[in-house]
Chains A and B, each alone.
Chain A
Amino acid sequence: MINIPTSILCRLGARSAISRSFGTSVITKDSCEMLEKKSLKTESCRLKYADPARAKDTQKSIIRIVSEAKTPIQKFGWEYLVKQRGMKRPIAPHLTIYQPQLTWMLSGFHRISGCVMAGTLLVGGLGFAVLPLDFTTFVEYIRGWNLPCAVTAVFKYIIAFPIIFHTLNGIRFLGFDLAKGVDNIGQVYKSGWLVFGVSAVIALAIVINSCQNKSKAVKTA
C-alpha cells in the first residue's frame, strides 16, 4: 500500500472536481484550444478560462434565458440539456432504442389513439363544413361501391377499437392516478393485457353485430 500525504491527495481531488464542474460552461478548455488554433479571440478566451467566476457568469446568463426552469430540479434538467447540446449529443429518449414492452407501448398507443381520434373529429368537422358534400351523400357514395362485408368490417374495427381501447385504458390510467394497480409490475402487465384483450373483444362484438344487422336489412329489403 502506497501512502500519499493527504494534502496532496485533497488538492488532486479538488482540482479535478473544479475542472469538471465548469465543464458545463460555454468556454471549455477544448474549445479554447480550438479557438487558439484559429487565433481567434485568444486573449478573451484565455481570460474567461482563467477566471472561473467569469465562466460561471456566462453559464448563468445562458440559463437565465429559460423561462421554464422554476424549480431546482427543472433547472438541473435544463442545465443538463444545455450541456448535452454543447457537446453536440442528441436528446433522449430515442424510442427506437427501447425494447418494445407492454407498459410503454400501451401508454403510447393511448396517447396516439387519442390524438388520431381528435384529428379525425377536427378534419371531419371542418371538412364537412367547408366541402360541398354532406355526410349522407358521402356514405351513400361508398355504399355504391358494394364493398364485401370483410372489407367494411376491417374499417369498422379500425374505427371501433381505438374508441373502446382509449376508454378502457383511460379507466386503467385513472386507477394509476389513484395509485391503484401499481403495487407491482405484474399488476400493471395484468391490467394492461386485460384492457387490451377486452377492448379487442368488444370491438369485435360491435363489428359482428353491425354486419349481422346489415345482412338482416338486406334480407328484409
Chain B
Amino acid sequence: MAASLRHMAHFQKALLVARTAPRLSTIVRATSTLNDGASKVPDHSMHFKLERLWAVGMLPILPTSYFIHGPVMDAVLTVALTLHIHWGIHGVVYDYARPYVIGEAAAKAAHVGVYVITGLLLAGLLHFNTNDVGITKAFELVFSL
C-alpha cells in the first residue's frame, strides 16, 4: 500500500487541527461547575440573573433622582449603587487580577480587596448622607455652579 505526498499533507493537517483545537468534548470531572441542566449543581446563573435584575431595577431610579432630591432618594441610591458597584468591581477584579498575571497570593488579596472597597464605599456614602448634604443635594449644588 502506498500514499502520495498530497495524502501525507492532508494527514499532517488533520493531526495539527486535532492537536490545536480546544477539546470541548472531553469528559468533565464530577467536581466541575458546569451545569448540564439535568443536575442541580450550584453555578453562577442565578447570580448573573440577579445582577441584571438589580440593574433593571436601577433604571427608573436614575431619572427619578434627577427630579426628586432628599434623604429617601439618597438612601435608595446608596443601596442601589453600592451593590451594583460591588458586582461591577468584582467582575473587573476577577477579569484582570488573575493568578496567572499577578500570582496566586496577590489575586486572593485583590478578591478580598473587593469587599473592603464595597465596605468603605457604603460607609462613605452613609456618612455623606447623614453628616453632609447627601448625594442628590450634592449634585444639585455642583450643577448650580
Chain A positions within 8 Å of B, measured between CB atoms, are 1-6, 9-10, 12-13, 16-17, 20-21, 66-68, 70-73, 76, 78, 81, 91, 111, 114-115, 118, 121-122, 124-126, 128-129, 134-136, 139, 142-143, 147, 152, 155-156, 159, 163, 167, 170-171, 174, 177, 206, 210, 213-214, 217
Contact = CB atoms under 8 A, between A and B. Distances in A.
Interface in B35-75: 52, 55-56, 59, 62, 66
B28 interface: yes
Given A9-B3, A17-B15, A135 B124 contact: no
A174 B31 CA distance: 31
Nearest to B8: A9
Given A136-B133, A210-B143, A214-B144, A114 B88 contact: yes
Contact of B15 (A5, A13, A122, A134): A13
A135 B138 contact: yes
A117 to B, nearest CB: 8
6 contacts: A6-B3, A9-B7, A20-B19, A76-B23, A115-B88, A155-B145
Contacts, number: 138
A121 B4 contact: no
B34 A71 contact: yes
Given A71-B34, A118-B88, A125 B125 contact: yes
Interface of B: 1-5, 7-8, 11-12, 15, 19, 22-24, 26, 28, 31-34, 52, 55-56, 59, 62, 66, 81, 85, 88-89, 92, 98-101, 104, 117, 120-121, 123-125, 127-128, 131-133, 138, 141-145
A66 B99 contact: yes
Contacts of B55: 170, 174
Contacts of A91: 100-101
Interface centre among A12, A16, A124, A213 (most CB of B within 10 A): A124
Contact of A121 (B7, B52, B124): B124
Contacts of A9: 3, 7-8, 11
B127 to A, nearest CB: 4
B4 A17 contact: no
List 6 A-B pairs, minimum CB-CB distance, nearest first.
A125-B124, A72-B26, A210-B143, A129-B127, A118-B85, A139-B141
B5 A2 contact: yes
A163 B81 CA distance: 12
A210 B5 contact: no
Nearest to A1: B4
Contact of A124 (B1, B26, B33, B124): B124
A206 B24 CA distance: 51
B124 to A, nearest CB: 2
Contacts of B31: 70
B89 to A, nearest CB: 6
B52 A174 contact: yes
Contacts of B23: 72, 76
Contact of B128 (A128, A136, A155, A174): A128
A167 B52 contact: no
Given A16-B12, A129-B123, A136-B133, A70 B32 contact: yes
